[in-house]
Amino acid sequence: MSLFYRTHLSRALIPLVLGGSLSLAFAKPTQANAPASSPPVPPLFLLGAGACGLVVGGLLGRALKKAPVVKSEAIADPIFDLAPTALAVLDPKERLINVNAEWNVLLGSTASKGDLFAPLLHPDDLAPVRIGILSVFDGETPIYERETRLFRHDGEMITARLSARKQGLKSKPDTILVGLSDSTELAEASRELEGARAAIRSLYEVMAGDKSTTLDAKIKSLIAMGCGRLELPIGVLSRRTKTEDGRDALETLFVQSPDRRVRPALILPYGDNSNEGRLLGLDLMPNIIDWRDSPCIASGEGLTFLAAPVEVNGTWFGMLSFSSPETGRSGFDASEVELLGLMAQWVSGEIEREETRKELERQQNDILAANQKLELLATVDPLTEAKNRRAFNDKLAEEWSRATRYGTPLSLVLLDVDKFKSYNDTYGHPAGDGVLKQVALTMMAAIRTTDFFARYGGEEFALILPNTDVQGALILAERLRARIEGAPWKERAVTASFGISTLHEDIKKPEQLTSAADEALYASKERGRNRVTHAVEIVPAEV
């Protein structure tokens, strides 16, 4: 498109350096446009499409001020007749008094004196042009300019820069000079540019839209936008795959197809010439399998097709295609092809980012699982699956801090399997391990979710009871003791002794709470085992 503008503008104005100063002049008309009988044109003025306003308002205007007013069909001024810009003289009734050769060339007809100017104008431009011309006739403005649409004799619509300027010295002239500079190509290019800008804005809205929008939703929006911009009803993002018998194929991932001619999750091999295959370009695939950075454009009987490759991490992932089951346009302009390329690049980048995100997420999950496993190994007793001594110490410090800060009760229970050494010696270590496992399971099944149970060491276990006073700890410990005693033991009956301590003002640190519970446990052993003792029950003589 930039090439078009450079080419167009190079025709529009040709500067001449004359005697060290910059001048503008009319360009000599081409042989295609000039009548066969036209005499050679002196290189007095150069004018391209789009500079009519300059000429009429400048050099030509000054020349015409000095020239007599044209009042007949005879060509009164060689500048007027030879100018390569369409010129006409209008009277107040909008009738053509005189036209030059370029006027007839531009509008594709031979104008006659008295022809009305208004029928040449597009209906939407008729009213504003009339108002502008009237303002020149009324002397309100010396010159009126406007981009205007007109119809040629063959019905083709063109766009031209219209300039109207009064003739003569009267404040309200009898005639005005109208110039038309063909700007059809420029107008079409402007519309094309605006369309491209709108497409880029739409693409940006999809790319930089709501961050919470999923990739699937963004791709669907992108395809819908592409169908609208390219005026093709079917849009598809497909990926390379294999058929069940191992042939190269495309699978449709995202599809916009109003009549469901193409459906999602469709797998078709290269070279497929079915209706669906043709709309996916599969009949073209053997020829474009090695395409890189190039769009594929096809148009034939019953098909219009435009596609671009989608690469992910340097590998051909699939393609983004738009098609119609009808023979529509014969080609696509550069801006549309460029838009398709941008869309394909965006899809490539988004898929790469999504794959990277998923890979990072997988790695993070692996790291999290590994850390959890390490944490488990570091804090769980492998035999009983209860928490270990390290975890117990951390939890006791945490609950101690909470209880002392908020003034809530805290109790600690230590229990020891009675005569466990004898059990091991009699029935063996595997049987002893079984006892420890069952004691742990019995305890963990009976405590509250807020309580913390751990293997303290050997056959000894610990139970931290947050928000539990002396009476509550005694009741729970007795219930646990009874459960252990009443459990179905395989070799012989198993019992346990319990020692309890509860936080009070004389206990200043966690270790003292543990020592008090240990002393109470020792007292239970001394009193015959299979019993519960709280530290408050121990008299000083026993300690």
Residue 424 lies in a domain: yes
pLDDT at 201: 67
Q: Could you tell me the pTM of the whole model? A: 0.47
Residues facing 298 on adjacent strands: 305
Residue 364 lies in a domain: no
pLDDT at 2: 32
Residue type at 521 in one-letter notation: L
Q: Which residues of 158-195 are buried (b: 16+ CB within 10 A; e: fewer)?
A: bbbbbbbbbbeeeeebebbbbbbbbbbbbbebeebeee
Owning domain of residue 499: 389-537
Paired tokens of 193: 């540019």
What whole-number distance in Å separates Cα of residue 426 and Cα of residue 64?
Answer: 132
Hey, how many other C-beta atoms are within 10 angstroms of the C-beta on 316? 15
CB-count exposure of residue 336 (10 Å: 0-12, 13-18, 19+): buried
Q: Looking at the structure, tell me whether residues 129 and 54 fall in a common domain.
A: yes
Question: CATH number for the domain including 497?
Answer: 3.30.70.270
Q: Looking at the structure, tell me whether residues 74 and 166 fall in a common domain.
A: yes
Query: Domain end: 182, 217, 252, which one?
Result: 182
Residue 379 lies in a domain: no
What whole-number distance in Å separates Cα of residue 225 and Cα of residue 230?
Answer: 9
Q: Looking at the structure, tell me whether residues 210 and 296 fall in a common domain.
A: yes
* CA distances in angstroms from 352 to 210, 242, 360, 429, 535, listed in the order given: 19, 21, 12, 57, 66
Q: Where are the beta strands (DSSP E) in 257-399?
A: 267-269, 296-300, 303-312, 315-324
Residue 190 lies in a domain: no
Query: What is the DSSP secondary-structure string of 191-212?
Result: HHHHHHHHHHHHHHHHHTS-TT
What whole-number distance in Å separates Cα of residue 25 and Cα of residue 533?
Answer: 117
Hey, how many other C-beta atoms are within 10 angstroms of the C-beta on 324? 21
pLDDT at 1: 34
Query: Domain end: 307, 329, 355, which one?
Result: 355
Q: Looking at the structure, tell me whether residues 31 and 165 fall in a common domain.
A: yes
Residues in contact with 433: Cβ distance below 8 Å, sequence separation at least 6, in sequence order: 383
Paired tokens of 84: 């390569």
Total tally of structural domains belonging to the chain: 3
Q: Looking at the structure, tell me whether residues 168 and 231 fall in a common domain.
A: no
Q: Looking at the structure, tell me whether residues 347 and 221 fall in a common domain.
A: yes
Token pair 């346009």: residue: 329
What whole-number distance in Å separates Cα of residue 75 and Cα of residue 101?
Answer: 10
Coil, strand or helix at 103: helix
Q: Looking at the structure, tell me whether residues 121 and 232 fall in a common domain.
A: no
Written as tens digits, the pLDDT of the chain (543 aa) is 333 222 333 333 333 332 333 333 333 333 344 444 444 433 333 333 334 443 444 444 444 444 344 443 444 467 788 888 899 999 999 999 999 999 999 999 888 888 999 999 999 999 999 999 999 999 999 999 999 999 998 989 999 999 999 887 777 888 999 999 998 888 777 776 676 666 666 666 666 665 667 888 889 988 998 898 888 999 999 999 999 999 999 999 999 998 888 999 999 999 898 989 888 888 877 666 556 556 777 766 778 888 999 999 888 899 999 999 887 666 787 878 888 888 898 899 889 988 888 899 999 999 999 998 888 888 999 999 999 999 999 999 999 999 999 999 999 999 999 999 999 999 999 999 999 999 999 999 999 999 999 999 999 999 999 999 999 999 999 999 999 999 999 889 999 999 999 999 999 999 999 999 999 999 999 999 999 999 999 866 554
Residues facing 316 on adjacent strands: 311
Coil, strand or helix at 467: coil
Q: Looking at the structure, tell me whether residues 210 and 326 fall in a common domain.
A: yes
Q: Looking at the structure, tell me whether residues 517 and 403 fall in a common domain.
A: yes
What whole-number distance in Å separates Cα of residue 73 and Cα of residue 96?
Answer: 10
Question: CATH number for the domain including 12?
Answer: 3.30.450.20
Residues in contact with 444: Cβ distance below 8 Å, sequence separation at least 6, in sequence order: 386, 453
What whole-number distance in Å separates Cα of residue 161 and Cα of residue 172?
Answer: 24
Residue 367 lies in a domain: no
Helical spans, DSSP H, in 175-299: 184-207, 215-230, 275-279, 285-288
pLDDT at 187: 78
Q: Is the dihedral of CA 135, 140, 141, 146 positive or negative?
A: negative
pLDDT at 95: 93
Residue 83 lies in a domain: yes
Residues in contact with 138: Cβ distance below 8 Å, sequence separation at least 6, in sequence order: 172
Q: Looking at the structure, tell me whether residues 319 and 457 fall in a common domain.
A: no
CB-count exposure of residue 69 (10 Å: 0-12, 13-18, 19+): middle
What whole-number distance in Å separates Cα of residue 483 and Cα of residue 496?
Answer: 10
pLDDT at 205: 67
In whole angstroms, how large is the CA radius of gyration of the chain? 47
Question: CATH number for the domain including 227?
Answer: 3.30.450.40
Q: Looking at the structure, tell me whether residues 395 and 524 fall in a common domain.
A: yes
Residues in contact with 94: Cβ distance below 8 Å, sequence separation at least 6, in sequence order: 116, 117, 118, 130, 133
pLDDT at 212: 60
SS (H, E, C) 223-235: HHHHHHHHCCCEE
What whole-number distance in Å separates Cα of residue 403 and Cα of residue 387?
Answer: 21
pLDDT at 199: 65
Query: HSE-up of 111 (CA within 13 Å, CB side)?
Result: 27
What whole-number distance in Å separates Cα of residue 453 and Cα of residue 391?
Answer: 10
| Backbone φ, ψ for residue 322 (5° rounding) | -135, 140
Q: Looking at the structure, tell me whether residues 134 and 34 fall in a common domain.
A: yes
Residue 361 lies in a domain: no
pLDDT at 501: 97
Own/partner long-range contacts of 57-63 (Cβ < 8 Å, ≥24 apart): 57/143, 57/145, 57/163, 57/165, 58/24, 59/24, 59/25, 60/179, 61/143, 61/165
What whole-number distance in Å separates Cα of residue 305 and Cα of residue 298?
Answer: 5
Residue 484 lies in a domain: yes
CB 513 within 8 A of CB 486: no
